[in-house]
């Protein structure tokens, strides 16, 4: 019978193996806590409507990437493809606009998108993100950006760049779109097929087309900065001012447009080169219209989302380059010869564990030699040997697996000596 494998685009993670995964999660938590963000855990699935309305009907996510199904109550349910809409939903549902503002939360959890897997892209992946709701201050935009950077820096990552842009608001964006369409329709023949359709559906997308000819073209287009309304212009200036106050370096990049409809004003991405064709570690922006779009009280907000797997991939390469040490031996392994010694060892193992000392014994009835070998490969720090002589004498031979030094320690003192 054929073995059952993990579904396409999913992976089994062993977060303790290289430890990076766990370190990253801990870093996210501590960085967020230090800035007054508390954790939120929203459901893995939501009503489909939350995403069609929140993320946008014409986005790729909604059009072709959602895991949507009908449950037994005939409700249309969708595995969450992103984290912002659910957080805003929770904010409105729990009337958190009545709490002191801003409300600042962070999350770590799986997201689902039906895509063709490739490097840096999975059908189930993990994102960490923050959302700060209830303030339109550009200082909050800067804070959110600084948090993301802090996470990477705390993990020892340096070679990334922060790209910043503003995509305006419902007042000035239509004007910019119009001029784009006007300019581009003069050169329809020079655009790729995709961009021709983009021109009708979402002209901003032409800006970040990877097609070389389009990219050359996009660079000649006037940047959105020039078309921002007074309010947006001022906000954007505020963001850059605060970023500079935070001593954070960034690049203005008019081609950053983001793929979700809810963004307004500030958008940003953190780029890294070690991700294959993907180059985005994380990104986000302001979404001042989302709460209202979801039927709630108008609430200005900013946030970001970043990929754990992508960060781990980059950090893994970094760790390999540094060829990090493997001297982390820990724990005790009790080696026994004979059934009686084994009984003794089981009791001692239990005691050690109760005192917080990682302890283990052989479960395969192996020879002393083989048990030594096993303990060595497991990265055990100390072995305690119990055979006939030791049983009679009431002690164990304790061997340090690094130095090779051996001493005799009485059973009664063993836990104390090894803790």
Binding residues for RNA (CB under 7 A): 5-9, 59-61, 82, 111, 113, 115-123, 125, 127, 194, 198, 205, 208-211, 257-260, 269, 276-283, 305-307, 309-310, 337, 364, 366-370, 372-374, 376-377, 385, 387-390, 397, 399, 401-402, 404, 406
What whole-number distance in Å separates Cα of residue 95 and Cα of residue 296?
A: 9
The nearest distance, CB 250 to RNA, in angstroms, is 16
Please tell me whether the peptide bond between 102 and the residue prior to it is cis, using omega within 30 degrees of 0.
yes
Of 234 and 388, which has the nearer Cβ to RNA? 388
The nearest distance, CB 113 to RNA, in angstroms, is 5
What whole-number distance in Å separates Cα of residue 219 and Cα of residue 207?
A: 8
Of 259 and 296, which has the nearer Cβ to RNA? 259
The nearest distance, CB 22 to RNA, in angstroms, is 19
Buried b (16+ CB within 10 A) or exposed e, 30-67: ebbeeeebeebebeebbebebbbbbbbeebbbbeebbe
Q: How many residues make up the chain in this entry? A: 419
The nearest distance, CB 270 to RNA, in angstroms, is 7
Instruction: Of 255, 203, 202, give the one whose Cα is nearest residue 225.
Output: 255
- List all residues 6 or more positions away from 142 whose beta carbon is below 8 Å from its beta carbon: 239, 242, 243, 245, 246, 248
The nearest distance, CB 26 to RNA, in angstroms, is 20
Residue 312 sits at the vertex; the CA angle it makes with 125 and 154, to the nearest 5 degrees, is 120
The nearest distance, CB 180 to RNA, in angstroms, is 15
The nearest distance, CB 98 to RNA, in angstroms, is 29
Instruction: Of 94, 86, 105, give the one whose Cα is nearest residue 44.
Output: 86
Which residue in the block uniquely carries the two structure tokens 């992976």? 11
Q: Strands 45-47 and 38-39, how do they pair?
A: unpaired
Please tell me whether the peptide bond between 115 and the residue prior to it is cis, using omega within 30 degrees of 0.
no
Instruction: Of 35, 208, 66, 2, give the one whose Cα is nearest residue 130.
Output: 35
Of 48 and 336, which has the nearer Cβ to RNA? 336
Q: Are 380 and 327 in contact (CB under 8 A)?
A: no
The nearest distance, CB 64 to RNA, in angstroms, is 8
| Cα Rg of the chain (Å, integer) | 28
Of 300 and 307, which has the nearer Cβ to RNA? 307
Of 17 and 71, which has the nearer Cβ to RNA? 17
To which H or E segment does residue 341 belong? helix 339-354
Of 100 and 323, which has the nearer Cβ to RNA? 323
Of 101 and 202, which has the nearer Cβ to RNA? 202
- Specify the 3-state DSSP secondary structure of 268: strand
The nearest distance, CB 165 to RNA, in angstroms, is 13
What whole-number distance in Å separates Cα of residue 256 and Cα of residue 85?
A: 21
Of 245 and 403, which has the nearer Cβ to RNA? 403
The nearest distance, CB 336 to RNA, in angstroms, is 10
Of 15 and 238, which has the nearer Cβ to RNA? 15
Of 125 and 235, which has the nearer Cβ to RNA? 125
**Token pair for 344:** 């003794």
């Amino acid at each position: 019978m054929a073995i059952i494998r993990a579904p396409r685009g999913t992976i089994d993670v062993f977060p303790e193996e290289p430890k990076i995964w766990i370190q990253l999660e801990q870093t996210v938590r501590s960085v967020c806590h230090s800035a007054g963000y508390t954790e939120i855990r929203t459901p893995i699935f939501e009503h489909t409507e939350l995403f069609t309305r929140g993320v946008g009907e014409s986005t790729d996510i909604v059009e072709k990437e959602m895991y949507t199904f009908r449950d037994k109550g005939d409700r249309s349910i969708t595995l969450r493809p992103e984290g912002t809409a659910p957080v805003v939903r929770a904010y409105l549902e729990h009337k958190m606009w009545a709490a002191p503002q801003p409300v600042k939360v962070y999350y770590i959890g799986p997201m689902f998108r039906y895509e063709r897997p490739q490097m840096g892209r999975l059908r189930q992946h993990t994102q960490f993100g923050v959302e700060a709701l209830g303030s339109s201050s550009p200082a909050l935009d800067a804070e959110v950006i600084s948090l993301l950077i802090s996470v990477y820096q705390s993990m020892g990552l340096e070679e990334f760049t922060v790209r910043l842009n503003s995509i305006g608001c419902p007042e000035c964006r239509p004007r910019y779109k119009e001029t784009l369409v006007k300019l581009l329709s003069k050169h329809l023949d020079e655009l790729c097929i995709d961009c021709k359709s983009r021109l009708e559906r979402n002209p901003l997308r032409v800006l970040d087309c990877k097609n070389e000819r389009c990219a050359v073209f996009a660079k000649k287009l006037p940047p959105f900065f020039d078309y921002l309304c007074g309010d947006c212009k001022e906000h954007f200036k505020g963001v850059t001012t605060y970023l500079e106050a935070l001593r954070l370096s960034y690049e203005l990049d008019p081609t950053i447009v983001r793929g979700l409809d809810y963004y307004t004003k500030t958008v940003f991405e953190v780029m890294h080169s070690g991700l294959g064709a993907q180059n985005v570690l994380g990104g986000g922006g302001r979404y001042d219209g989302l709460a209202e779009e979801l039927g709630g009280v108008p609430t200005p907000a900013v946030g970001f989302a970043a990929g754990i797997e992508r960060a781990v991939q980059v950090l893994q390469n970094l760790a390999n380059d540094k060829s990090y040490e493997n001297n982390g031996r820990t724990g005790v392994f009790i080696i026994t010869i004979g059934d009686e010694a084994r009984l003794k060892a089981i009791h001692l193992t239990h005691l050690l564990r109760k005192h917080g000392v990682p302890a283990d014994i052989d479960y395969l009835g192996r020879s002393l030699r083989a048990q030594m070998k096993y303990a060595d490969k497991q990265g055990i720090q100390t072995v305690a040997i119990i055979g006939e002589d030791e049983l009679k004498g009431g002690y164990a031979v304790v061997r340090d697996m690094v130095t090779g030094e051996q001493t005799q320690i009485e059973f009664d003192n063993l836990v104390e000596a090894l803790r």
